[in-house]
Amino acid sequence: MTQTYGYVRVSARDQNEGRQLVAMREFGIPDGNVFTDKQSGKDFDRPAYKRLMKKLKPGDVLVIKSIDRLGRCYGDILEQWRIITKERQAAIVVLDIPLLDTRQKERDLTGTFIADLVLQILSYVAQTEREFIRQRQAEGIAAAQAKGVRFGRPPLERPVMFDEVRKAWEQQKISATAAAKQLGVSRMTFTAWANE
């Protein structure tokens, strides 16, 4: 018996997948057939997506809200589309773009060509948007650093007895591990301070 599955993805744990879940319910997909990942679309190494792919069989239908929910890498999206429609012989429905509905068996050559073209354009746009996000993020970080904003944890203050402990370590009276323990820091922190 053929099944209809939904795939939902958001890029981060704090993002809300509610809009996509509503779309899946409105399409009539039972909650148990909806697979959700909360991670980047940069590749297809996602746990829920992998479970979904193991379930897909010929005649099944995979529903996604928009093409960028499938992924963000142009080549990978096209490859996954090929695997799903050709190898698994399942259909794909992209809710935001009715033209990308492979259930339509009556398509002529022109209709198939147009759908393939739209898929390639949208896959390209998804990857380009991912690159723009990365670029804007890098520009934002650079601008903040230029204004003096520091990222990461503030540097640890060296304990008052650091010089004394380092001297003992340099004279090989104590190990780096023992020195770090006396100062209440990690061995890596102690050796970084000692080697400055």
Active-site choice (11, 40, 175, 186): 11
How are beta strands 91-94 and 61-64 bridged, if at all?
Answer: parallel
DSSP codes, 102-146: TT-TT--HHHHHHHHHHHHHHHHHHHHHHHHHHHHHHHHHHHHHH
Largest CA distance in the chain: 84
Respond yes or no: is residue 11 known to be catalytic: yes
Closest CA to 63 of 117, 32, 100: 100
Active-site amino acid positions: 11
